[in-house]
Amino acid sequence: MQIVETIKQVRQIIALQKKRGKRIGFVPTMGALHQGHLSLIRLAKKHSDFVVVSIFVNPTQFGPKEDYKKYPRNLKKDAALCQSAGADLIFSPNVKEVYSKGFSTFINVEGLTQGLCGASRPGHFRGVATVVSKLLNIVQPDAAVFGQKDAQQLAVIRQMTKDLDLPIKIIGAPIVRERDGLAMSSRNAYLTLEERAEAPALYRALQLAVSMVKSGKREADSVKREMAKLLYRDAPLGEIDYIEIVDNEALKPVKQVKKNTLIALAMNFPSARLIDNIIGA
C-alpha cells in the first residue's frame, strides 16, 4: 500500500492501474478511522480491483464554531487500519494541494441541503459537495462508497453525480454500530463518560419509531413526539437539534411513515454533535 500527497502522484498511479484494466474503488474520509470506515473499504474492495482511500480534513465543510482545528488526525494509525482492510492507496493531501491560492469555485446542491443537518450547519454541504467533486475528479473511480449514517450527505452526493453526469457508481454502506447501538463516528471519541453512557439513546429512539410503525402507528408527528420523550428522559445532557421523518430520496417531510421513509435525528451534547438514522418499516 502506498501513501501519496499530491494530485499528480495519484493520477499517475491510477492511470497505470486503469491501463492494466483495473476497476478503481474510492472511499473518501477525513481520517480518525474506525470499523465503520473499514467496512466502507471492504465494500469498495468487492466492487473494484484497486481501492483508493482519501484522508483529508476538509476545512470548507466546517462552520466557524465547529471542530476543524481539534478534529483528530493520526495518519500512521489510519494507514495501518486502511492496510488491514485491503486499501491499495492512500491520498493524504494538505489543504493547499486541494484548495490552491485563489480557489473560488464551489458546488451547491439545491433542495436536498435545506433541511436536516443543512438547517443548522449552513454552508456545510456546499463544502462537502465541493471537496467530493474535486476528489472524484482527481481519482476518477468506477465506484465510490459512502456510509448510510450520513444519509443526507449520501443523497447529496448521488444527486450531484447525477446532475453533473459523472460516470461513477455511488454505493451506500450500512451503518456500523457499537454493541450498545451507538452509530460509529469519529466524534464519539469527544464524548465524556457521562455523555457516552447517554448516547445510545439515539438508536433507542430510532428503534422506538420502527416499533411504533410496525404496530400501525404511522403518523409522523406522533412518532416524533414519542422519540423526543425518550431522548429527553434518557439523554438529559444532550439537546435535540432535530427529529425528522422524510422521504429517503427527496428528503421532504412526510405525514405518514411508509416504506423507504428516512427517520433521522441529531443531538448536541456538550462535547460532540451526534447524528443517526434508520429506514422506516
- Residue 95: pLDDT band (50, 70, 90) is very high
215 domain residue, yes or no: yes
Query: What secondary structure, in 3-state letters, does 160-196 show?
Result: HHHHCCCCCEEEEECCCECCCCCECCHHHHHCCHHHH
pTM of the model: 0.95
CB-based contact 189:212 (threshold 8 Å): no
245 domain residue, yes or no: yes
- CATH code (residue 53): 3.40.50.620
33 domain residue, yes or no: yes
Question: What are residue 172's DSSP bridge partners?
Answer: 146
Mean pLDDT for the stretch of residues 43-51: 98
In the predicted structure, residue 22 carries a pLDDT above the cut 80: yes
Query: What secondary structure, in 3-state letters, does the chain show?
Result: CEEECCHHHHHHHHHHHHHCCCCEEEEEECCCCCHHHHHHHHHHHHCCCEEEEEECCCHHHCCCCCCCCCCCCCHHHHHHHHHHHCCCEEECCCHHHHCCCCCCCCCCCCCCCCCCHHHHCCCHHHHHHHHHHHHHHHHCCCEEEEEHHHHHHHHHHHHHHHHCCCCCEEEEECCCECCCCCECCHHHHHCCHHHHHHCCHHHHHHHHHHHHHHCCCCEHHHHHHHHHHHHHHHCCCCEEEEEEEEECCCCCECCECCCCEEEEEEEECCCCEEEEEEECC
Give the whole-angstrom CA distance, residue 5 versus residue 3. Answer: 7
pLDDT at site 138: 98
Q: Are residues 195 and 163 in the same domain?
A: no
Domain of 154 in residue numbering reads as: 2-173
Q: Are residues 216 and 150 in the same domain?
A: no
| pLDDT > 70: percent of the chain | 100
In the predicted structure, residue 281 carries a pLDDT above the cut 80: no
Q: Are residues 135 and 103 in the same domain?
A: yes
Give the whole-angstrom CA distance, residue 253 versus residue 219. Answer: 12
pLDDT at site 65: 84
Instruction: Render pLDDT for 176-219 as a digit per residue (tens, 0 to 9).
Output: 999 999 999 999 999 999 999 999 999 999 999 999 999 999 99
- Residue 88: pLDDT band (50, 70, 90) is very high
pLDDT at site 260: 84
180 domain residue, yes or no: no
pLDDT at site 44: 98
In the predicted structure, residue 43 carries a pLDDT above the cut 90: yes
Mean pLDDT for the stretch of residues 157-174: 98
Instruction: Render pLDDT for 105-134 as a digit per residue (tens, 0 to 9).
Output: 999 999 999 999 999 999 999 999 999 999
pLDDT at site 85: 98
pLDDT at site 280: 83
Q: Are residues 251 and 153 in the same domain?
A: no
What's the alpha-carbon Rg for the chain, to the nearest Å?
19
- CATH code (residue 216): 3.30.1300.10
178 domain residue, yes or no: no
Which residues carry out catalysis? 37
181 domain residue, yes or no: no
Last residue of a domain, one of 123, 152, 173: 173
**Domains in the chain: how many in total?**
2
